[in-house]
Amino acid sequence: MKIKLLGAGIDGLSLEQCVDRIGEFIASGAPRLIITLNPEMLYQAQREPELLRLIGRADLVTPDGVGIVWACRVMGEPVSERVTGIDLMQKLLERAGEKGWRVFFLGSAPGVAEDAARNAQKNYPGINVVGTHHGYFKPGDEPNIIKIIKSAGPDLLFVALGAPRQEQWIDKYREILGVPVAVGVGGSLDVLAG
Ligand code: UDP
């Protein structure tokens, strides 16, 4: 059951429960959008109805802010904990190594996704990064990027283009891409790249 906060539906799951749910999404295969919802994006969505609708189309929305967790609790809704993009990505990479999920990194400056892939291979036993692409592309480059992602065939697509552009990008292309799970992760590839 979603918790309604300022028009957005939030899932009050713990980090572990989020990863379990995402595992079910991967098993089912239909393209899903995951949003870690921070206060800035929720605030922006108050003035942009289309962004609020996009949040409504997401399959899993985590509370990425102590203020959001607090507000849900004040309304009497049980919310386990704050679930940030970096925490979710790290836990998913751990699980991906165990389960053999195929991973693609899209976004950040040229070279960053490759460094992130190298570090992922060092830090997460069994991880299979099937492709990377930087996030400084023009709209005209998108058909080629979509082709690259599709032919790599990931189960999990991490998109780091900044919020809410990454969520809009996933929403626009998720049916064409057909990747079971795509999640916007903001600056997390920079963190993983070190
Ligand atoms: N980024 C990108 N393409 C762009 C703009 C940003 O790939 O056109 C990347 C940027 O390099 C960074 C990531 O998006 O790695 C997240 O940026 P930011 O920290 O501004 O976003 P937030 O964490 O606020 O979502």
Read off the pLDDT of residues 151-162 as tens digits, 9 standing for 90 and up. 999 999 999 999
**Joined tokens for residue 9:** 């539906």
Q: pLDDT tens digits, residue range 77-135? A: 889 999 999 999 999 999 999 999 999 999 999 999 999 999 999 999 999 999 999 99
Q: pLDDT tens digits, residue range 24-56? A: 999 999 999 999 999 999 999 999 999 999 999
Q: Domain ranges in the chain? A: 3-193
For ligand 1, pick from 37, 108, 137 the residue to mutate: most ligand atoms within 8 Å of CB.
Answer: 108
**C-alpha 163 to ligand 1 mean position (Å):** 7
Nearest to 193 by CA among 134, 109, 112, 135: 112
User: For strand 32-37 and strand 8-10, is the pairing parallel, antiparallel, or unpaired?
Assistant: unpaired
Work out which ligand 1 atom sits closest to the CA atom of 184: 25
pLDDT for the residue numbered 78: 87
Per-residue pLDDT for 1 more than 90?
no
For residue 132, give the 3-state DSSP assignment: strand
Per-residue pLDDT for 76 more than 90?
no
In contact, 61 and 37? CB cutoff 8 Å? yes
**C-alpha 186 to ligand 1 mean position (Å):** 6
How many CA within 13 A on the CB side of residue 50?
6
Whose alpha carbon is nearest atom 23 of ligand 1? 186
- Mean pLDDT of all residues in 151-174: 98
pLDDT for the residue numbered 167: 98
Evaluate whether ipTM surpasses 0.90. Answer: yes
Burial of 57 per CB tally in 10 Å (0-12, 13-18, 19+): exposed
DSSP state of 180: S
**C-alpha 76 to ligand 1 mean position (Å):** 34
- Mean pLDDT of all residues in 144-148: 98
pLDDT for the residue numbered 98: 98
DSSP state of 92: H
